[in-house]
């Protein structure tokens, strides 16, 4: 067995057993991966707080049989200011759902990782959940993912792209639903992005 170190954003976590979590991480070098964090739900766990949802972390993972096992973790950024706002937490959930449903597991995508970290920082530092800079960056992020997956054509979609942010949001959502082949669970959150 071997281990690896990487930087990641915690996208999702599910309770597993009595004291563990199964985590979905977007890593810088390995793409979206699922790992097990053992014992982190115990009250005396040193690592539990580092693995809060949407934290930017440095993680060490030992390959296991099936899922990797988190052996060390250190929080780099917790985005704690944004987590005090329900609307901003909603934006984080939307980003998580977007990545979970559009990016395949274990396919390196360093560009999307860096874009996500940057957007999380924008949400953290935005004046409020309806900050137009955050919304504009989010629209660009959606287009970046769609281009990356081959669901966006500058000739076809770029020529028809609307001018206003609310119209751009609706335009992107149609393409995202087609690419994910499902309806997202965060439509009310998406409405919060409107200016």
Quote the pLDDT of residue 129: 55
Q: What is the rounded CA–CA span in Å between residue 89 and residue 34?
A: 22
Q: What is the pLDDT of residue 149?
A: 83
CA distance 99 to 92: 11
Residue 135, pLDDT score = 80
Predicted local distance difference test score (pLDDT) of residue 89: 86
| Positions of the chain with pLDDT under 50 | 190, 193-195
Helices (H), 2-131: 86-102, 110-125
Return the domain boundaries, the chain. Answer: 3-77, 82-191
pLDDT of residue 60: 95
State the pLDDT at residue 131. 67
CATH superfamily of 3-77: Nucleic acid-binding proteins (2.40.50.140)
Say how far apart CA 57 and CA 77 lie, in whole Å.
Answer: 7
pLDDT of residue 31: 93
User: Model's pTM, two decimal places?
Assistant: 0.85
Q: Pairing state of beta strands 56-62 and 3-16?
A: antiparallel
The predicted pLDDT at position 194 comes to 42
pLDDT computed for residue 193 by the predictor: 45
**pLDDT recorded at residue 2:** 84
pLDDT of 189: 53
């Amino acid at each position: 067995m071997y281990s690896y170190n990487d930087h990641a954003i915690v996208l999702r976590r599910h309770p597993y057993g009595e004291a563990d979590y199964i985590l979905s991480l977007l890593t810088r070098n390995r793409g979206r991966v699922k790992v097990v964090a053992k014992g982190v739900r115990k009250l005396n766990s040193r690592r539990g707080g580092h693995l809060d949802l949407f934290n930017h972390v440095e993680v060490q993972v030992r390959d296991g049989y099936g899922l990797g096992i988190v052996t060390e973790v250190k929080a780099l950024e917790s985005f704690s200011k944004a987590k005090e706002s329900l609307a901003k937490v909603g934006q984080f959930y939307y980003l998580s759902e977007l990545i979970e449903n559009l990016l395949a597991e274990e396919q390196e995508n360093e560009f999307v990782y860096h874009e996500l970290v940057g957007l999380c920082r924008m949400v953290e530092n935005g004046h409020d959940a309806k900050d137009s800079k955050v919304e504009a960056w989010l629209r660009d992020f959606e287009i970046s993912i769609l281009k990356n997956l081959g669901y966006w054509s500058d000739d076809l979609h770029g020529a028809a792209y609307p001018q206003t942010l609310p119209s751009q949001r609706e335009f992107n959502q149609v393409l995202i639903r087609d690419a994910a082949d499902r309806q997202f669970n965060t439509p009310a959150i998406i409405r919060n992005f409107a200016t």
